[in-house]
């Protein structure tokens, strides 16, 4: 029930244009810049802009929910299909408001629309993202590292959704080796060194997989353009699914229950491929290590067995698609975005510490579950 309740969004106040922006509506510069603009649908003028003062509660995702972002399970389309109507009704008003806010923020910062990445500029023109996302983008551009990462579409979508994404990625990969090794020791105890080759295989698989475990289920600000009309129905469906099944929908976007379930299925398929591939690499390295050890010490041949490559790889792929997929979707979309972020968004250090603690515990739990699962299906034996 607790997980199911996260498919619905609790409206929260919106972070919108500050009072200092109000003077732009009547400034000559702003009027000259936009009154004759026709480079995007529904071109705005200074007279058409309607500004609303809102209380700043939390960044990006909790922002603008009251302006049309929806987690409903009805007929509202997410992502691409949700942007197809002609601008009439509530959806059109949301997109007009998003476009006006975004263009006003760009004008205040002196940033030209043409200087932005093409996918971001197209999303602004279509009114698919609120002004809070543009504010976040301009803030991230101040850092040289972030500016470089924002050149890549995948990182751009994730950093705009969560400015701590890079820190979480470092946390996961940094502590992964230590927590997984500790979990292996917890399960194996006195047999830890007798099973060192198997432990090594597990750690190698973890290092390769940790990056994707953070990257794939992370909430995003979707900047993907709608697919071509000739695209198949299945392609369109998965294209419009969120990256995280539990993520909060931003203004102008909504996700149905079916689309959220589709996010779990799509990420599961990707993580199956990642898990299987990383296991192939890990077990191949382990078997090479075992053979090298046998060549040096002939007595080890009867004691140490090579790791079965195919069965181990497929089993790890299934484990990633089911256990890891669900745990990381809940971690990123529920625990971090819906619980910790609203409480600690103004205290980044405390938020980072809590994310570190939760992710460390999740990594340790995952290692314990993998050892039990591997022994249950018989691909690893306890000595």
Q: Classify residue 319: in a domain, yes or no.
A: yes
pLDDT at 8: 43
Q: Classify residue 350: in a domain, yes or no.
A: yes
CB 45 within 8 A of CB 35: yes
57, two tokens: 């509660």
pLDDT at 61: 42
Q: Classify residue 77: in a domain, yes or no.
A: no
Q: Classify residue 253: in a domain, yes or no.
A: yes
Separation of alpha carbons 297 and 291, rounded Å: 10
Separation of alpha carbons 369 and 339, rounded Å: 25
Sequential pLDDT tens for the chain (383 residues): 444 444 444 444 443 333 344 333 334 333 333 333 434 444 444 333 433 433 333 444 443 333 345 554 444 444 444 444 444 455 678 899 999 999 999 999 999 999 999 999 999 999 999 999 999 999 999 999 999 999 999 999 999 999 899 999 989 888 877 877 887 788 677 778 877 777 877 777 777 788 899 999 999 999 988 888 888 999 999 999 999 999 999 887 889 999 999 999 999 999 999 989 988 887 787 777 777 777 776 665 545 567 788 888 999 899 999 999 999 999 999 999 999 999 998 999 999 999 999 998 998 888 889 889 988 998 877 65
Q: 360: buried, middle or exposed (CB in 10 Å: 19+, 13-18, 0-12)?
A: middle
Look at the chain and report how many structural domains it folds into: 1
Separation of alpha carbons 332 and 338, rounded Å: 9
Q: Classify residue 261: in a domain, yes or no.
A: yes
**Full residue range of the structural domain in which residue 177 is found:** 164-377
Q: Classify residue 138: in a domain, yes or no.
A: no
Q: Classify residue 171: in a domain, yes or no.
A: yes
Residue showing tokens 């980044």: 348
Q: Classify residue 180: in a domain, yes or no.
A: yes
């Amino acid at each position: 029930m607790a997980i199911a309740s996260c498919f619905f969004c609790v409206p929260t106040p919106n972070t919108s244009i500050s009072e200092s922006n109000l003077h732009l509506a009547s400034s000559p510069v702003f009027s000259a810049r936009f009154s004759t603009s026709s480079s995007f649908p529904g071109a705005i003028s200074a007279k058409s802009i309607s500004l609303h003062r809102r209380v700043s509660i939390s960044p990006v995702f909790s922002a603008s929910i009251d302006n049309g972002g929806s987690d409903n399970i009805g007929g509202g389309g997410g992502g691409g299909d949700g942007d197809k109507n002609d601008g009439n009704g509530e959806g059109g008003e949301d997109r007009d408001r998003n476009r006006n806010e975004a263009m006003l923020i760009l004008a205040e910062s002196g940033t030209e629309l043409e200087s932005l990445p093409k996918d971001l500029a197209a999303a602004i023109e279509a009114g698919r993202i609120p002004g809070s996302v543009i504010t976040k983008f301009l803030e991230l551009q101040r850092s040289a590292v972030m500016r470089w990462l924002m050149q890549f579409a995948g990182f751009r979508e994730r950093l705009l959704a969560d400015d701590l994404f890079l820190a979480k990625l470092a946390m996961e990969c940094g502590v992964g080796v230590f927590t997984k090794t500790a979990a292996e020791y917890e399960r194996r105890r006195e047999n830890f060194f007798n099973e060192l080759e198997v432990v090594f295989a597990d750690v190698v698989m973890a290092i390769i997989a940790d990056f994707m475990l953070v990257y794939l289920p992370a909430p995003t600000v979707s900047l993907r353009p709608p697919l071509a009309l000739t695209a198949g129905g299945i392609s369109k469906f998965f294209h419009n699914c969120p990256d995280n099944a539990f993520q909060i929908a931003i203004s102008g976007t909504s996700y149905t229950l079916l689309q959220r379930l589709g996010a779990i299925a799509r990420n599961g398929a990707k993580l199956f491929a990642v898990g299987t591939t990383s296991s192939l690499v890990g077990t191949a390295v382990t078997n090479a290590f075992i053979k090298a050890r046998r060549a040096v010490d002939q007595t080890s041949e009867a004691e140490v067995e090579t790791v079965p490559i195919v069965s181990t790889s497929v089993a790890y792929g299934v484990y990633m698609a089911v256990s890891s997929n669900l745990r990381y979707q809940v971690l990123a979309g529920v625990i971090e975005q819906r619980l910790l972020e609203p409480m600690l968004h103004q205290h980044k250090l405390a938020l980072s510490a809590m994310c570190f603690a939760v992710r460390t515990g999740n990594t340790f739990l995952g290692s314990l579950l993998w050892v039990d699962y591997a022994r249950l299906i018989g691909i690893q034996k306890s000595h």
